[in-house]
Structure 1
Amino acid sequence: MVQPAATQPGSPRILVVDDDEGLRTCIADYLAAEGYGVGVARDAPSMDQALAGAGCDLVVLDLMLPGEDGLSICRRLSEFGGPPVIMLSAVGEEVDRIVGLELGADDYLAKPCRPRELLARVRAVLRRRNDAADAAQPGKADYGFLGFTLDAARRTLRSPDGVVILLSAGEFSLLLAFLTDPGRILSRDELIEKSKGMDADVFDRAVDVQISRLRRKLNDNVPNEVIRTVRGRGYIFDAAVSRGPAPRLAAQA
């Protein structure tokens, strides 16, 4: 059952999805006290109901849920361009972190976690989304490379064949960071700073996994590797980048 959020005007809306009623309520109350609009759901169907209604700006998602589990939900949200996801898991193994990030999570926390730590991660993910949106306001340059077009205002990447490639919030931020500084080796720390995507307390592996996902999406459409790893130093975006208005599709009659 979904609990309506007492949303303040202009506040980001967060949906907490967890089948543990006590933990779900605790997280929701804490985030609401910090000024966020908060809704809750206990499983995938009630989450879908909430997203179809008021929607949300971020999902805090438990890994172990009745019915459809958190990994499947995360994959589904990522594939269909859903809101950013912070995944929670009582397991806490490194492999679970990596799998969650591979499937589209923007961050990952092991339970039990301190409310302040979750709050910091929520702020970081929302800040990344807002910073990317600010950098992509209409009128700012869009980007082209190897036949791809990134319409930054619409957060839309099109392949050389014109097919839309869905990007998570983290992938979009990293791609924008690469496109604004192509041809130069960027360390993980520089990518974290440029993308505003992950605070320093987030493990380096998160950057590697996000880049791995982005690299696969690009490499599926071009024969050569676009993002190259420079051992011991970081990553380099190995393609010429042009800037200018992205082509607009003609309106349907």
Structure 2
Amino acid sequence: MTRIALVVSDVDGTLVTKDKTLTDRAQDAVRRLHQAGIGFTITSSRPTIGMRFLIEPLAITLPVGAFNGSSIVAPDLTPIEEHLIPPSTVERSIEVLNEFGVDIWLFTNEKWLTRNGDGEYVPHEKRAIRADPTVVADFSPYLASACKIVGSSADPALLQRCELAMQQALDARATAVRSQSYYLDVTPPGHDKGTFVEAMAKRLGIPTDRVATIGDMQNDLAMFRKSGLSFAMGNATDDVKQQATHVTASNEDEGFAAAMEMILKENEGSGADR
């Protein structure tokens, strides 16, 4: 195995448990990566503010990728690179989500906006990102400042159909992909977790085949394709597992830590960089 110099991890369904807990074993695994001289950072569909709680316990010193990597921020959350969805694409995205009858959220760099403060997944998102939504009657004033549009639904099959319809409606004008079985994310065109991996490899001066990635959902496939080593979580769907180099245990069974321990072991056995 090529010696790994950087690990890029997804957050929800991967690094944290279902109740959004960072386990002691996961934290220890990242500490051991640091000790071994292996870089570590995170990328997620989460907004910037939703990454904050992981920075200190994981001693992250590298930039992190919010909004599926379309925004890159320093560990103190200072913006390094930000991209927005074109306003006309925001409008079209909202139209498609309305057609499917799913709950709609709009994220700017500072705010989480919703027209329905009592939406089914609002309490879940509040726990996840540790922030409250701003309830608005109309998204129109925010069309020019959208970092991400989200459609949420408890019907996975409906959301999968919505994903396909959204991709057809938007084509190359934005990236539309599910980050959870109940979340469909629309993010700026030309930027995803794969481009984040490329940006981080360039920053560190390493080839992308020395990057390892780990995730559980369709939005993680972009970074799987750009990295030399990839791990799908045991809780991932079969199509995600099929596109990963390895499959680890679930996020409820320390799958993240197990994958990091494998990287550490393989690196120790690989000798000098090659």
When normalised by structure 2's length, the TM-score is: 0.28
When normalised by structure 1's length, the TM-score is: 0.30
The structure, 1 or 2, with the larger RCO (C-alpha pairs under 8 Å, 6+ apart) is 2
